């Protein structure tokens, strides 16, 4: 039996403290007991400390043995190939901390490759070698973006370790219920028990699992305790209804519009507005349509000028209680006018099909092309952007995005780059990449960073070529190299490894134009060398892991 020990409360316990005090003061000022001052005093102090150390170690009495932890659960997944296991150990050792965008040198940033390695290993269903789990948990502890993939790869043994080390408790919080699987959907008794008695994380996990398999059962379970839940819990539970959201959820969400919590009411209204056939969406459509009309007389006063159909806006003059109940926030943020604030919320929540009926049967592209009077274009288009993202409407997203080569796409316009990035998320991966490639070809990389962030990885060939060509143009122009370090870092992680062969011609130090930044040529050469090395390393990583089980489209 394993035993731990506790110190004996024996006489002379203060002797050690006395020796420590003597050592701190020095034997010239204080000598050990029974020792005369002089050159023998330091030796006597060390002898006394040695004796006291042995006495303290020996003077221990047995304590009650701690209960041994249960063995770690088995992991039934196949083990990593040997080469991939060595690669993982290498990636985990190289942990310099946060990657610096402007770093120098040609060596790849291995820690930045770890997320891709984990994604590839998870796609192939491998289990980690047990000895790397501590380092993997340490890496995930320092990077929250790494945790989902790291914990999926680490498997059940990571949760077993997390219960033994407080530094890894984040793994228990990240895995709902501390890794406890929700009960089977068919087990009604166990489901009710967990819902009524479980921890909050367990209840969230249960509701999410039910919602994925049986949305109606999840909603009915939530309704049984809805009135007694705390406001913050009601908000989290209500958010789970986004999964499988459908018309059958409308009665429950309509009731939530009268909730005593403003945040709950706002979330219920947002979910209802994502259902174009809901009563709330119809109410919002009536309100929004009353604010927008076509004026066919604009431009008719000038000689030889035909009337130009123009959208005119008359924003609401008040936010009445019915509007507030339907999710309109009455108080505008600082710097925003109340009327424009209310108007934007109405348009955002109205079904996008409202506008073709209201504006003469025009298509989304034709509607977006219409001029808007009195500087309302920015507010109106921004609200349409939010509606298109909320309702997942690809046709409206295309209309609002416009052509990537349009002049306004490269700078301030009715639709900002942040809004364009969200609109791109409603399109398929191939269409997204094609649009961003066209944007880069027309406007360069200076405004493309956030657009590149929504593109599927690895980048499609047209997008990869557009990025490399734009980097090459910036290099030849002697542009300030550090301003492109963010895009270069993205390219290291997202460019298809097969593109490495096209970069060999860019590895030499270029001739620097007279107006180039000092040392720019050397920086560009290093950056391209690092990019090539990283791409080849990524190709080797994938080869070591072997083919994926299945290839699902991004």
Per-residue confidence (pLDDT) for residue 8, from 0 to 100: 42
The one-character DSSP state at 509 is: P
The one-character DSSP state at 127 is: B
Half-sphere exposure of 85 (CA within 13 A, CB side): 13
Report in angstroms the alpha-carbon separations of 392 from 235, 268, 384, 398, 426: 23, 18, 12, 11, 6
Q: Are 399 and 368 in contact (CB under 8 A)?
A: yes
Q: How far apart, in whole angstroms, are the C-alpha atoms of residue 460 and residue 496? A: 7
Q: Are 254 and 327 in contact (CB under 8 A)?
A: no
Taking each helix axis as running N to C, give the angle between helix 110-124 and helix 520-545, from 0 to 180 degrees, rounded to the nearest 10: 20
Mean pLDDT by 10 residues, the chain (554 residues): 44 73 86 82 89 81 79 92 95 60 64 90 94 94 90 92 90 57 62 86 85 92 94 93 94 94 93 94 97 84 71 96 94 95 97 96 96 94 95 96 77 72 95 96 89 92 93 82 84 88 72 64 84 92 85 45
Q: How far apart, in whole angstroms, are the C-alpha atoms of residue 300 and residue 297? A: 6
H/E element, 216:
helix 215-225
HEC secondary structure over 366-395 = HHHHCCECCCCHHHHHHHHHHHHHHHCCHH
SS3 for 447?
A: coil
The one-character DSSP state at 331 is: S
H/E element, 5:
strand 5-7
Per-residue confidence (pLDDT) for residue 100, from 0 to 100: 41
Q: How far apart, in whole angstroms, are the C-alpha atoms of residue 70 and residue 461? A: 51
Pairing type for strands 292-295 and 310-313 reads antiparallel
H/E element, 312:
strand 310-313
Q: Are 112 and 493 in contact (CB under 8 A)?
A: yes
Per-residue confidence (pLDDT) for residue 501, from 0 to 100: 77
Q: How far apart, in whole angstroms, are the C-alpha atoms of residue 541 and residue 120? A: 9
Per-residue confidence (pLDDT) for residue 99, from 0 to 100: 42
Q: Is the bond into 458 cis (omega within 30 degrees of 0)?
A: yes
CA dihedral 542, 543, 549, 551 (to 10 degrees): 60
What secondary structure does DSSP assign to 59-113, as a single string? Answer: SEEE-PPPPPPPPPPP--SPBPPHHHHHHHHHHHH---SSPPTT--SSS--HHHH
Per-residue confidence (pLDDT) for residue 382, from 0 to 100: 94
Per-residue confidence (pLDDT) for residue 550, from 0 to 100: 54
Q: Are 398 and 426 in contact (CB under 8 A)?
A: no
Q: How far apart, in whole angstroms, are the C-alpha atoms of residue 325 and residue 42? A: 83
Q: How far apart, in whole angstroms, are the C-alpha atoms of residue 117 and residue 130? A: 17
Q: What are phi and psi of 6, to 5 degrees?
A: -130, 145
H/E element, 364:
helix 364-369
H/E element, 293:
strand 292-295
Q: How far apart, in whole angstroms, are the C-alpha atoms of residue 90 and residue 109? A: 11
| pTM for the structure as a whole | 0.74
Token output for 116: 């891709």
Token output for 101: 């965008």
* Sole residue written with tokens 């042995």: 54
Radius of gyration of the chain, Cα coordinates, nearest whole angstrom? 33
Q: How far apart, in whole angstroms, are the C-alpha atoms of residue 127 and residue 139? A: 17
Pairing type for strands 60-62 and 5-7 reads antiparallel
Shortest CA distance to 284 belongs to which of 363, 351, 211?
Answer: 351
Taking each helix axis as running N to C, give the angle between helix 41-58 and helix 14-25, from 0 to 180 degrees, rounded to the nearest 10: 150
Shortest CA distance to 284 belongs to which of 297, 275, 293?
Answer: 275
Query: Based on the number of CB atoms within 10 Å of its own CB, is 450 exposed (0-12), middle (13-18) or buried (19 or more)?
Result: middle
CA dihedral 132, 134, 139, 142 (to 10 degrees): 180
Q: Are 448 and 439 in contact (CB under 8 A)?
A: yes
């Amino acid at each position: 039996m394993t035993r731990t020990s506790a110190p004996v409360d024996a006489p002379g316990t203060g002797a050690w403290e006395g020796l420590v005090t003597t050592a701190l003061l020095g034997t010239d000022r204080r000598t050990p007991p029974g020792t005369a001052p002089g050159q023998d005093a330091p030796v006597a102090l060390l002898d006394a400390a040695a004796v006291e150390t042995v006495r303290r170690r020996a003077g221990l009495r047995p304590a009650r043995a701690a209960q041994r932890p249960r063995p770690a659960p088995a992991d039934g997944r196949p083990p990593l190939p040997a080469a991939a296991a060595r690669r993982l150990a290498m990636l985990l050792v190289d942990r310099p901390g946060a990657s610096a965008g402007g770093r120098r040198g040609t060596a790849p940033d291995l820690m930045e490759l770890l997320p891709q390695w984990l994604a590839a290993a998870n796609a192939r269903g491998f289990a980690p070698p047990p000895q790397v789990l501590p380092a993997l948990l340490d890496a995930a502890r320092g990077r929250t973006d790494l945790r989902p993939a790291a914990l999926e790869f680490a498997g059940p043994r990571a949760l077993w370790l997390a219960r033994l080390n407080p530094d890894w408790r984040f793994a228990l919080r990240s895995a709902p219920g501390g890794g406890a699987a929700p009960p089977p959907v068919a087990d009604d008794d166990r489901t009710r028990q967990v819902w009524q008695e479980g921890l909050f994380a367990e209840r969230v996990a249960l509701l999410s699992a039910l919602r994925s398999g049986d949305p109606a059962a999840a909603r009915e379970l939530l309704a049984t305790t809805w009135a007694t839940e705390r406001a913050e819990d009601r908000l989290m539970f209500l958010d789970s209804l986004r999964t499988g959201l459908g018309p059958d959820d409308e009665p429950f969400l309509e009731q939530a519009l009268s909730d005593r919590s403003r945040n709950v009411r706002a979330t219920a209204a947002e979910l209802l507005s994502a259902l174009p056939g809901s009563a709330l969406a119809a109410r919002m459509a009536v309100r929004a349509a009353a604010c927008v009309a076509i004026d066919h007389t604009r431009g008719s006063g000038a000689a030889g000028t035909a009337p130009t159909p123009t959208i005119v806006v008359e924003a609401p003059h008040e936010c009445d209680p019915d509007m507030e109940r339907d999710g309109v926030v009455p108080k505008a943020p600082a710097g925003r006018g109340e009327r424009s604030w209310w108007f934007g919320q109405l348009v955002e929540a109205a079904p996008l099909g409202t506008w073709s009926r209201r504006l003469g049967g025009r298509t989304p592209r034709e509607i977006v092309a219409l001029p808007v009077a009195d500087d309302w274009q920015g507010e109106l288009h921004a609200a349409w952007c939010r509606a298109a993202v909320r309702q997942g409407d690809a046709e409206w997203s295309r209309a609002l995005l416009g052509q990537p080569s349009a002049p306004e796409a490269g700078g301030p316009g009715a639709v900002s780059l942040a809004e364009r990035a969200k609109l791109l998320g409603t399109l398929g991966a191939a269409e997204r990449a094609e649009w961003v490639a066209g944007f880069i070809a027309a406007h360069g990389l200076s405004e493309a960073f956030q657009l590149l962030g929504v593109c599927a990885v690895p980048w499609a060939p047209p997008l990869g070529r557009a990025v490399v060509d734009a980097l090459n143009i910036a290099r030849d122009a002697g542009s300030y190299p550090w301003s492109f370090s963010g895009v270069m870092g993205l390219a290291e992680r997202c460019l298809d490894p097969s593109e490495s062969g096209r970069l060999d011609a860019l590895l030499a130090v270029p001739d620097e134009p007279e107006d180039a930044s000092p040392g720019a040529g050397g920086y560009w050469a290093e950056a391209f060398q690092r990019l090539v090395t990283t791409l080849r390393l990524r190709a080797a990583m994938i080869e070591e892991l072997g083919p994926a089980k299945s290839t699902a489209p991004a």
